[in-house]
Amino acid sequence: MKIIIIGGVAAGMSAASKVKRTSPEAEVVVYEKGSFLSYGACGLPYYVSGANDDYRNMIARTREQFEQAGIQTRLRHEVLKIVPESKRIMVKDLDKNKVFLDHYDKLMIATGTVPIVPPLPGKDVPGVHLLKTLEDGIALKEKVASPDVQDVVIVGGGYIGIEVAEAMVELGKRVRVVELGDRILKTFDPEITGIASRELADKGVSLNIGEKVEAIDGTERVTGIRTDKGSYPADMVILSAGVKPATGFVKGTGIRLARNGAIIIDREMRTSVEDIYAAGDCAEVYSRVMEENTYIPLGTTANKCGRIAGLNLLGKHEKFIGTLGSAAIKVLGLELGRTGMSEEDAQRLAIDYGTVWVSAADHPKYYPDPTPIHLKLIYEKKSGVLLGAQGIGEKGVVLRIDILAVAIHNRMTAAEMGMADLCYAPPFAGVWDAVHIACNAIK
């Protein structure tokens, strides 16, 4: 059996590896548009900042390792079209500028996302960058090292935008973030993002919230940006206005797409077309807590779903247990974490919910350097079942959100979690941990 996988980063290579481990005789061919396989794109801001000074550290397995495992890899090859009726794909070799056809028995789409690039005047001026691929990261790290780059404007205040802002602060740049929405990091609720915004401002980042970029100035190189509220100098502009599923090439195939272009799949990663599967950021995913398909582009979910797809490409019927959308981010001196529903999710689903907001120390005051942890819990009023959790603080936050993710995954009530047997020792936590305190605040 010949299996073709389109996309060679998280979901794609997880699937390819699982296929070959399970069925060594299967023929597996991976087509990847870029120049690298299986890398951790979430590490790109830390490579740019210098926290990691070797991009090869982000590569989980090399091309040579995949080839030794029997996986055929075709880098710099873009799939232009899928023809399900004949089980063929049209492929372009980007280096040789040649187009050819290949056939499959089973096909998996794992093309991830492409950046949303607003149609701004000046978007192609030298000095305007994206940070999506490893190639982007290598180019950005080289350019930002120039002493001519002092004023950096980041368009977009999502995860990547804020991580890049932190990187630029650490590189000693003057940093401005321009965000069209009413706050940064909108997957977090306002209580959390308010604290994160103050941290950025305290460290010198200019936040222009509710402001629309209208043009990028410059000819030979970037000199500034113009918005609907003013003009600002810029030696470099980084566009981080979000991403969209990279699924343009599947239109007309009969594969059902969501409104945003994400591939609609079931919990076995099957698309609406027989023998075609999809996983990762190009596809929707099942939410365990909301009990519906949703779009949550995260590397953690992509790897899990890729592994399941690899089994099901071989005829298995493994079902994905579901995601909670658990995510974390470091914002200078703070760490933020979230899992499960936000208030907006609960409102959209018409759930009768309640919330609590508590502040507690990460460990007792009789051990040095206690710091505050702020936790917000969302719960169903009638049952007390936990639905969502968010937190922010200097240390110990993300691991506590992990605890709450397990509780939400298992549909625990606040009362149950409030009595869970968590570790206690003065260097780590109080006898009543912040998790206990938050859960027991729910009456």
Catalytic residue positions, numbered: 42
Residue 200 buriedness (CB in 10 A; 0-12 / 13-18 / 19+): buried
> 217 is written with which tokens?
């100035």
Rounded Cα–Cα distance for residues 207 and 161 (Å): 12
- Using CA atoms, how far residue 408 sits from 80, 134, 355, 411, 432, in Å, is 41, 34, 15, 5, 20
- Using CA atoms, how far residue 298 sits from 230, 245, 284, in Å, is 34, 12, 11
Rounded Cα–Cα distance for residues 419 and 321 (Å): 26
Residues 6+ apart with CB under 8 A from 171: 48, 49, 50, 144
Rounded Cα–Cα distance for residues 302 and 30 (Å): 16
23 Rama class: left (phi>0) / alpha (psi -120 to 50) / beta: beta
Helix axes 159-170, 190-202, angle to 10 degrees: 20
Closest by alpha carbon to 280, among 110, 140, 77? Answer: 110
Other beta carbons less than 10 A from residue 381's beta carbon: 11
Rounded Cα–Cα distance for residues 228 and 211 (Å): 6
Rounded Cα–Cα distance for residues 4 and 109 (Å): 9
